[in-house]
Chain A
C-alpha cells in the first residue's frame, strides 16, 4: 500500500466515523434496520460471550487462588478476579470475540454488497449507504457491546465463584461481599467506557474496510481478515490508552 492509498483509507475512516454518528439524527434512518443489527450483534453474540466469559472467569479464578494459596492470601481471590474482569479482561476479551464474530460479519456483508453492486443500486435509488448500512451497524455496536460486556462480566464472576467455592473451598458469601466492594465508581466507569469505545471502533473499522472491498472473492477474504486484524490491534492499543487516561483523570498512580 502506498502512502497516498494509506492516507486515502484514513480519510475514509474519519469521514465514515463522523458521518455514521451524524446519521443518527437523520430522518431517513430506518429504526427497523437498527433493530435488525442489534439482534444480529447482540442476541446473536450472546452464546459466544457467555461461553468465553464463563471459562475466562473460571480459569482466572483457578490461576489466582492456586498462586495465592501457598502464601495464605487466597481470600483475596475475589478482589483480584473482580478487578481484572471488570476493568480489563472482560471488556477486552468480549470486544475481541465481538470483532471476530460481528466485525468480520459486517466487513464481509458490506464487501459482498459492494461486489454484487447492491451498494451501487442503493445510490441509484437515492438511498444514502451511510444511513442505510453504516449508521445502524455503528449504533447497534455502541449499544450492544456495553450490554454484552456487562453480561459477560457477570458470567465471568459467576464462573469465578464456582471455582472459588467448589475447588478452592472458600466462602461464597465472602466472595460476593468482596465483589460488591469492588463495584465502585472507577471500576464501573472503566468497565463501561471501554466497550462503548471498542464497539464504535470495531463498527467503524469493519464498515470502512467492507465498503472499500475490491477484487472478487480474494478481495472479500482480504477485507474480512483486515477488519478483524485492525480491530484486534486497535482494541489492545486503545485499551492501554483509555486506562492511562482514566488513571490520569481520576488521579491514580501505578
Chain B
C-alpha cells in the first residue's frame, strides 16, 4: 500500500504540495488530474523516492521511504515502473539497449535471454522493426512505446506510473498508447498491475482509471470515482472536466 501522510514539498519558497494525504492499493487504477505545475509529477517522483518531502511521511508497504538511502530505495523501486513524459529514453543507446538496460542493471541475464526478451517486449508494444534505431530517429508515439517496453523489462512491477504518457501525440497514437496501458493493467482487480496516470487530459484519464484525484494549489481538491467526478460541484474541477460531462 502507498500512503502519503501530510506531505509537503516546497520549491523556491512556494509549496508545490501542501499537507497532502491519501492511500492507494497497488492494484488500483488512479488518475491524478491537474493543471501544469500543480504538483502531479512530483507525486510520482515522491512515490519512487526520486524526491524527498520537506515534511510529512511516505509509506510504501509500511516502510517510511523519506529517510532511506539510494541503496535501500532499490528494493522499494522494484515495485514500480515509471514512464516519464516523452519517454526519457537514454539518447546514447539504441532501442534494443534502452529496453535491455534494466535487464543488465538488475540481473545477470545472458545475451540470448536479453535478445529474446527485448524482441518479445518490442513485439508486444508493436515496434519490433525499430530495434536498432536511435531514440532521435523515433516519432513521439514510438518513443512512448519503447519507454513502456523498457519499463516492463527485467521486472514485474506491482504498479505502473505514467507521467503524461499521451501529451503531444496525435489522436490515433494517443489511442494506441491508452490501449497498451489498459492491456498492461488488465486482469483480476485485486491482483492486476495497478497504475497511477498523471495527466491533464481528462478524456484519457477516464479511459484507464477508476479512481480520480484532482490537484490544485498543492492540495487534493477531489478524490473519488467517475460518478462522483461527474457530479462534483467544485467549479474549478467542473471547468477541467467539461469535455466528459
Contact = CB atoms under 8 A, between A and B. Distances in A.
A112 B88 CA distance: 11
Given A123-B70, A124-B77, A124-B82, A116 B105 contact: no
Contacts of A125: 101-102, 105-106
Counting chain A residues whose Cβ lies within 8 A of the other chain, the interface size class is: 10 to 19
A118 B45 CA distance: 13
Contacts of B50: 120, 123-124
A126 B74 contact: yes
Contacts of B240: none
A88 interface: no
A98 to B, nearest CB: 21
A121 B106 CA distance: 13
Interface in A120-134: 120-121, 123-128
Interface string A67-108: 000000000000000000000000000000000000000000
Q: A116, A117, A128 — which one has the most chain B CB atoms within 10 A of its CB?
A: A117
Interface in A135-168: none
Interface string A194-214: 000000000000000000000
B84 A121 contact: yes
Contact of B90 (A118, A123, A126, A128): A118
Interface of A: 112, 116-118, 120-121, 123-128
Interface of B: 45, 48, 50, 70, 74, 77, 80, 82, 84-86, 88-91, 101-102, 105-106
15 contacts: A116-B86, A116-B88, A117-B85, A117-B88, A118-B90, A118-B91, A120-B50, A121-B90, A123-B50, A123-B77, A124-B80, A124-B82, A125-B101, A127-B105, A128-B70
